[in-house]
Amino acid sequence: MQILSKEYPSNKKTTLNRMRRKPNPYKILIACLLSLRTQDKNTKTASQKLFAVADTPEKILKIPIKKLEKLIFSSGHYKKKARTLKSVSKELIEKYNSKVPNNKEKLLSIKGVGPKTANIVLAFAFGKNVLPIDTHCHRIPNRLGWIKTKTPEQTEKELEKILSKKYWKEFNAIFVQFGKKTCQPISPWCSKCPIKKYCPRQNVNKKR
Ligand code: SF4
């Protein structure tokens, strides 16, 4: 972790990481939903366009669905995401007085909010010490032999046991960069990897 945090400093922030500076829980939740299954540049474009028009649950509910789809088009899966944005906003208004809850159980009770999104909101909007686990955060610790897990949920539980709490806040930002640049999904750049001498390359069949 010491080597990785120097190599991939979390000041090279993603759209969501930048939002931590002045956290608005609703915008962080919506940006996180937009970021699913797309690249950061698309999340940035879609969230900027959307927040220029609507940045509260009430305002998003008022936008006609076709207009909402157009605003978030660049995030991909825009039809499904537009429906999720509407239903999440409706639930927040009806159940939580338009406020994003700062509690994992309540967040997970909202349809369309999964464990990664819930932890991103808890960490980035409310400063809680939790581990948001996305595909990079799941794949790489398994390759490194730190854990042996099948799902991101199991990974979160196992990492909580072995990873020093001082690294939790930055873990996601560091591993996302590491996963994009070096320990890539199909053929990782093991020859350029700063921690190759510590890695048993578990389940790595092809590497560069
Ligand atoms: S040595 Fe290869 S598999 Fe191991 S962490 Fe580095 S890039 Fe990933």
**Best CA proximity match to 25, nearest among 90, 99, 97, 95:** 99
The Cα–Cα gap between 193 and 82 comes to 39
Nearest CA residue ID for atom 8, ligand 1: 183
What's the pLDDT score for residue 11?
65
Alpha carbon of 98 to ligand 1 centroid (Å): 43
Q: Which of 199, 206, 208 best tests ligand 1's pocket when mutated (most atoms within 8 Å of CB)?
A: 199
The Cα–Cα gap between 163 and 183 comes to 19
Alpha carbon of 188 to ligand 1 centroid (Å): 6
The Cα–Cα gap between 38 and 94 comes to 29
The phi, psi pair for 204, rounded to 5°, reads: -95, 110
What token pair was written down for 139?
């794949």
The Cα–Cα gap between 188 and 136 comes to 12
Q: Is the pTM of this model over 0.85?
A: yes
Which residues surround ligand 1 with Cβ inside 6 Å? 140, 143-144, 182-183, 188-190, 193, 195-196, 199, 201, 204, 207
Q: What is the pLDDT of residues 79-136, one digit of tens each?
A: 999 999 999 999 999 999 999 999 999 999 999 999 999 999 999 999 999 999 999 9
Q: Tell me, what amino acid is at 34? A: L
pLDDT at 57 > cutoff 80: yes
The Cα–Cα gap between 154 and 123 comes to 19
